[in-house]
Every structure is written in structure tokens, then in C-alpha cells.
């Protein structure tokens, strides 16, 4: 029996929804696969609980086993039906300019708690080399200190020249420490008179761009910096460790009393505090919030767009982060199962 005009009008909303559903399913099926072969995935192995190795020994088989928040997110990406994602993971033990590894022939994707910054998109010559996925994690920087010094170091303002702060070079922890304390100007140039110990000897900053440290890149002469000595009593000493065994080297130096505080991300600092039964504590927090993501070659725009769709689904458009993952480490796999169920329903 043919529809009357009234019946057709009443049916239009439902018909429209069905049409849109089929259109969406067709678009998903057409654009779902991100890659047609496994992607090389480089990860930082010393950034628990965000990204770390099952075994910190680089000579062990466990060193190449990816663990943590980003590891579980990547595994859930692999589990998405039709996404075509498979990662060949390899640990990158040295942090310096880790995001630029994505622009080399070594890796298709690089992760490890990398803050998304415009300054990290270009190399030292200003050529754009790197792009980032949508942010999937939020950071704040912090000071990690011994519990006995919590009140003494409860503000960045209390970091004077008799305080030794440890930092991993090339991180936002280092950059924000220098910015907050006023060690650098708005362009990242060290204050004139700051002394920098390097393997080649001691350098004296002149306030110009030849002595620049940012979260993206540092001046070539400062690439192997060992320690900063402040030109003012209101600034701390900055000690660089971690070139061989990552941040564990800094943590151990703090525990031995060789350092007074560490400038590092809050998520990881709180994990360390829990692991030490609060012998170490987060004594101060940065007000600024950073967003982290995965780094890829600047020419990988199509892959980034495809990954973003999947990452946004798994994180519920950034509503699922580290706190939710800590409460339920299977949260991303559960989201992947829902994705797969919907994909199967669309097929039928």
C-alpha cells in the first residue's frame, strides 16, 4: 500500500536517520584504514607511568616491551577493527630532540609524553619536520623534592642560588623551570652572566641567541650542558643528569641528597612519590597546562588525520586521561570493543 503524504512526512525523520547511518558507515568503511603495513613506533622507556619499558636494562629483552598509558592507548589503536594499525615498537633511550626521530627514516611514529609545541615542529634550520596527533594527555610541570624539604621548596620563588635543581635536557620540565624562575627571556635566551659547564669548558652567556634553551631546541654550544650557574642569587643552580639511564639517574641523585629538587612532569613525579612511600613529594606545581601527543613526519598529514579520529574515539574526545586510565587500565580496550561492536552492527 502506498504511503499517504502524511505518512511519508511522519516517516521522513526515521528515514533520514537510517540514510545518515548508512552514509556514516560507508564513510567509516572507506576511510577507516590508516595504514596498509606495520608502522615503526619509537617510545621513550623511562617515563612511567606514561611510557616506559618492562625492564630498564637496555640489554634485556624487556627493554623493548612498551608499558604505560601510551602503550595501552597504542594497543587499543591496534585492536580497532578496520583501522589497519599495527606497531613495531622500539625503545629510544636518549630523550634529546626525541620528536625529531619521527622525521628520520627510523620511525613512523614517536611517543613518550611529548608536549605539543610549535617550536618542536622545526629543526635547527627552521625547516618544518614534525607534526603531531591530537593531544591525548595533559601535563603540568612540578618540583619533586624530599619530604623533609616540602615546605622549604613549596614554590618556584624559593629556588635560590644555594638550591640545586636537577633537569633532563630538552624537556618541558627544564624549559618551564628556566621560564618560571626568569633564567631566560621570552625567546629562551639565558641571562647575561649565567655560566654553563660543558665538556669543552665553561661558557658565559651574553644574553643573546647564541645561548638559547627552549623546549624545542638549544644552541649548539649548549647541547652537552652539564650545569648552569646563576648570575643572580634569586636563581637556582641547574644540574643535568639522565643521559645514560634517563630520569632514574636524577631520582637517585635526589634521594642521595646530591640534588634538592627535580623539575619534571607532575604525573611522573606523583608516581615516584607513591613508589617511595612519600619519601619524595611534589612540593610545587606549575600553573600552565600542556597537551601531549604522538609525533610524526610533517608529510604524514593523512595518517595524522586518521589517527586523530581513532585517538579521539578511544579518549572520548579527551575526556579519558591518565586519571581514568589509572582507575581502570582497560579503559581504552573497552572503548575499542565498543568501536568494534558498532562496526560489526554496521556491516549487518
Q: What is the tens place of the pLDDT at every residue in 318-345?
A: 999 999 999 999 999 999 999 999 988 8
Measured distance CA(181)–CA(149) in Å, rounded: 19
- Work out the average pLDDT over 106-110: 94
* Final residue belonging to a domain, choices 269, 285, 301: 285
Residue 262 has pLDDT above 90, yes or no: yes
My answer on whether 219 and 339 are in the same domain is no
164 assigned to some structural domain: yes
pLDDT band at 22 (very low <50, low <70, confident <90, very high): very low
* pLDDT at residue 24, rounded to an integer: 38
Q: Residue 269's domain spans which residues?
A: 141-285
* pLDDT at residue 16, rounded to an integer: 37
Indicate the range of 103-107, 219-223, 279-283 predicted with least confidence: 103-107
33 assigned to some structural domain: no
* pLDDT at residue 97, rounded to an integer: 79
DSSP string, 15-42: HHHHHHHHHHHHHHHHH----SS-EEEE
- Work out the average pLDDT over 296-313: 96
151 assigned to some structural domain: yes
My answer on whether 170 and 251 are in the same domain is yes
* Final residue belonging to a domain, choices 268, 285, 302: 285
Indicate the range of 21-30, 156-165, 309-318 predicted with least confidence: 21-30
Q: What is the tens place of the pLDDT at every residue in 149-166?
A: 999 999 999 999 999 999
My answer on whether 56 and 18 are in the same domain is no
* Final residue belonging to a domain, choices 267, 285, 303: 285
- Work out the average pLDDT over 174-184: 97
34 assigned to some structural domain: no
238 assigned to some structural domain: yes
Give the CA distances from residue 107 to residues 24, 52, 95, 120, 190, in Å, rounded to whole numbers and listed in that order.
32, 17, 15, 16, 33
My answer on whether 108 and 151 are in the same domain is no
- Work out the average pLDDT over 292-321: 96
My answer on whether 59 and 109 are in the same domain is yes
Residue 14 has pLDDT above 60, yes or no: no
My answer on whether 153 and 281 are in the same domain is yes
Q: How many helices (H) and strands (E) does the chain have?
A: 8, 17
My answer on whether 227 and 279 are in the same domain is yes
* pLDDT at residue 308, rounded to an integer: 97
* pLDDT at residue 242, rounded to an integer: 67
My answer on whether 281 and 180 are in the same domain is yes
Residue 15 has pLDDT above 50, yes or no: no
* pLDDT at residue 101, rounded to an integer: 83
pTM: 0.81
Judged on CB neighbours under 10 Å (0-12, 13-18, 19+), 79 is middle
My answer on whether 251 and 302 are in the same domain is no
- CATH at residue 111: 3.40.190.10
pLDDT band at 348 (very low <50, low <70, confident <90, very high): low
My answer on whether 277 and 166 are in the same domain is yes
303 assigned to some structural domain: yes
* pLDDT at residue 320, rounded to an integer: 96
Strand partners, 132: 295
Q: Which residues contact 172 (CB under 8 A, 6 or more apart)?
A: 115, 117, 139, 141, 215, 265, 290
Comparing 262 with 12, which gets the higher pLDDT?
262
My answer on whether 273 and 150 are in the same domain is yes
Residue 8 has pLDDT above 80, yes or no: no
Find out whether 87 and 109 touch, Cβ atoms under 8 Å: yes
With a pLDDT cut of 90, the percent of the chain lying above it is 77
pLDDT band at 29 (very low <50, low <70, confident <90, very high): very low
Sign of torsion, CA 275 277 281 285?
positive
Find out whether 161 and 308 touch, Cβ atoms under 8 Å: no
Q: What is the tens place of the pLDDT at every residue in 48-94?
A: 999 999 999 999 999 999 999 999 999 999 999 999 999 999 999 87
106 assigned to some structural domain: yes
Provide the domain count of the chain: 3
My answer on whether 188 and 52 are in the same domain is no
Under the phi-then-psi rule, with left for phi > 0, alpha for psi from -120 to 50, and beta for the rest, what region is 208?
beta
Find out whether 176 and 183 touch, Cβ atoms under 8 Å: no
pLDDT band at 3 (very low <50, low <70, confident <90, very high): very low
CB atoms under 10 Å from CB of 251, counted, come to 25
Judged on CB neighbours under 10 Å (0-12, 13-18, 19+), 346 is middle
Indicate the range of 1-10, 102-111, 177-186 predicted with least confidence: 1-10
- Work out the average pLDDT over 307-313: 97
Amino acid at each position: 500500500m502506498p504511503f499517504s503524504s502524511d505518512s511519508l512526512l511522519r516517516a521522513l525523520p526515521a528515514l533520514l536517520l537510517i540514510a545518515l547511518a548508512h552514509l556514516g558507515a560507508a564513510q567509516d568503511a572507506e576511510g577507516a584504514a590508516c595504514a596498509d603495513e606495520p608502522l615503526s613506533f619509537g617510545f621513550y622507556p623511562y617515563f612511567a607511568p606514561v611510557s616506559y619499558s618492562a625492564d630498564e636494562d637496555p640489554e634485556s629483552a624487556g627493554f623493548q616491551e612498551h608499558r604505560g598509558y601510551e602503550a595501552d592507548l597504542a594497543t587499543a589503536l591496534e585492536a580497532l577493527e578496520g583501522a589497519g594499525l599495527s606497531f613495531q615498537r622500539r625503545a629510544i633511550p636518549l630523550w634529546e630532540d626525541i620528536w625529531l626521530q619521527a622525521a628520520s627514516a627510523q620511525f613512523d611514529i614517536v611517543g613518550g609524553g611529548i608536549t605539543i609545541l610549535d617550536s618542536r615542529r622545526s629543526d635547527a634550520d627552521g625547516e618544518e619536520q614534525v607534526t603531531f596527533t591530537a593531544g591525548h594527555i595533559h601535563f603540568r610541570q612540578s618540583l619533586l623534592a624530599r619530604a623533609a624539604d616540602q615546605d622549604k621548596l613549596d614554590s618556584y620563588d624559593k629556588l635560590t642560588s644555594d638550591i640545586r635543581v636537577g633537569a633532563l635536557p630538552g624537556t618541558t620540565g627544564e624549559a618551564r623551570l628556566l621560564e618560571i624562575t626568569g633564567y631566560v627571556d621570552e625567546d629562551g635566551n639565558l641571562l647575561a652572566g649565567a655560566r654553563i659547564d660543558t665538556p669543552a669548558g665553561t661558557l658565559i652567556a651574553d644574553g643573546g641567541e647564541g645561548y638559547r634553551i627552549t623546549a624545542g631546541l638549544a644552541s649548539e654550544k649548549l647541547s652537552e650542558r652539564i650545569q648552569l650557574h646563576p648570575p643572580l642569587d634569586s636563581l637556582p643552580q641547574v644540574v643535568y643528569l639522565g643521559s645514560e639511564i634517563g630520569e632514574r639517574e636524577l631520582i637517585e641523585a635526589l634521594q642521595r641528597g646530591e640534588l634538592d629538587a627535580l623539575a619534571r612532569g607532575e604525573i611522573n613525579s606523583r608516581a615516584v612519590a607513591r613508589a617511595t612511600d612519600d619519601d619524595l613529594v611534589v612540593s610545587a606545581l606549575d600553573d600552565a597546562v600542556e597537551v601531549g601527543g604522538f609525533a610524526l613526519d610533517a608529510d604524514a598529514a593523512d595518517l595524522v588525520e586518521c589517527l586523530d579520529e581513532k585517538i579521539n574515539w578511544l579518549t572520548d574526545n579527551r575526556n579519558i586521561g591518565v586519571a581514568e586510565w589509572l582507575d581502570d587500565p582497560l579503559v581504552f580496550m573497552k572503548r575499542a570493543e565498543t568501536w568494534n561492536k558498532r562496526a560489526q552492527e554496521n556491516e549487518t
